[in-house]
Amino acid sequence: MRKVFDLRRLLFVVGVTFIVLLLPTPAGLSVAGHKALALFAFSGLILALEPAPLPIVALLVPIVQIALGVDDAGGAFEPFGTPVVFLILGSLFLAEALRKHGLTRRLALHAIVGSRGQFGPLLFALMAITGGLSMFVLNTATAAVLIPVAITIAQQVPRPEDGRKALAVLILAIGYSSSIGAIATIMGSGENAIASGLLGQLYGFGFVDWMKYGLPVVLLLMPLVWFLLPRLFALPALTIDVEPARREIERLGRFSGPEREIIVVLLVSISLWIAGGYIEQILNLPATLLSSAVIAIGAVAVLSVEKIVDWSDLKGVNWGVFFVIGAGLTLGDALEKTGASAWFANLVAPTFAGLPFIGVLAALILLAFCVTQFMNNVPLGAILAPVLITLGQASNIDPVRLVVPTIFAVALAFALPSGSARMILIAVTGVVSRREMVRTGLIVGMACAGVIFVFFYLLGQFGMI
Among the ranges given (78-87, 253-262, 282-291, 320-329), the one the predictor scored with the smallest mean pLDDT: 320-329
Does residue 205 belong to any structural domain of this protein? yes
Calpha distance 103→249 (Å, rounded): 11
Domain count, the chain: 1
Of 114 and 458, which is predicted with more confidence? 458
pLDDT beyond 70 at 239: yes
Backbone angles phi, psi at 5, to 5 degrees: -140, 130
363 contacts 65 by C-beta, under 8 angstroms? no
- Structure confidence by residue, pLDDT tens digits, 343-374: 877 777 777 767 788 998 999 999 999 988 88
Confidence bin at 316 (pLDDT 50/70/90) = low
pTM for this predicted structure: 0.81
Domain with 269 in it: 83-314
Q: Please report, in angstroms and rounded to a whole number, the separation of the first and last CA atoms in the chain.
A: 43
**The predicted structure's pLDDT at residue 189:** 83
Say what percent of the chain tops pLDDT 90. Answer: 32
Residue 9 lies in a domain: no
At 460, give phi and psi (nearest 5°).
Answer: -65, -40
369-401 pLDDT tens trace: 998 888 778 778 877 888 888 888 777 788 899
Q: Is the pLDDT of residue 117 over 90?
A: no
Mean pLDDT, range 306-317, rounded to an integer: 77
Beta bridge partners of 118: 239
pLDDT at 2: 47
Residue 243 domain-assigned? yes
Q: Is the pLDDT of residue 1 over 50?
A: no
The reply to whether 328 falls in a domain is no
Identify which of 182, 132, 127 has the alpha carbon closest to the alpha carbon of residue 150.
Answer: 127
**CA dihedral sign, ordered 142, 450, 202, 345:** positive
Higher pLDDT, 4 or 65: 65
Does 113 score more than 80 pLDDT? yes
Q: Which whole number is the average pLDDT over 418-426?
A: 81
% helix, strand, coil for the chain, step of 5:
75, 0, 20
In this predicted structure, the answer to whether residue 405 has a pLDDT above a threshold of 70 is yes
Q: What is the mean pLDDT of residues 420-438?
A: 85
Which comes out higher in pLDDT, residue 441 or 339?
Answer: 441
Instruction: Specify whether the CB–CB gap between 246 and 113 falls below 8 A.
Output: yes
Angle at 336 between CA 455 and CA 136, to 5 degrees: 45
- Give the pLDDT mean for 83-110: 81
Cα separation, 264 vs 260, in Å, equals 6
Residue 258 lies in a domain: yes
Q: Does any domain span residue 324?
A: no
The amino acid occupying position 188 is: G
- Judge whether residue 318 has pLDDT over 60: yes
287-312: average pLDDT: 86
DSSP state of 239: B
What is the number of alpha carbons within 13 Å of residue 441 lying toward its C-beta?
32
Residue 67 lies in a domain: no
**CB distance 224 to 428 below 8 Å:** no
Query: Average pLDDT of 103-111?
Result: 82
In a domain, 354, yes or no: no
Q: What percent of the chain lies above the pLDDT cut of 70?
A: 97
pLDDT tens digits, 121-163: 999 999 999 999 888 877 777 788 788 888 878 887 778 888 8
Position 62 confidence tier, pLDDT thresholds 50, 70, 90:
very high
Backbone angles phi, psi at 239, to 5 degrees: -125, 130
As beta bridge partners, residue 239 has 118
- Which of 55-64, 84-93, 211-220: highest mean pLDDT? 211-220
Give the pLDDT score at 145: 78
What are 446-461's pLDDT values in tens digits? 999 999 999 999 998 8
Please report, as a single letter, which amino acid is at residue 41: A
What one-character-per-residue DSSP string does 278-327 give? HHHHHHTPPTTTT-HHHHHHHHHHHHHHTTSS-HHHHTTS-THHHHHHHH
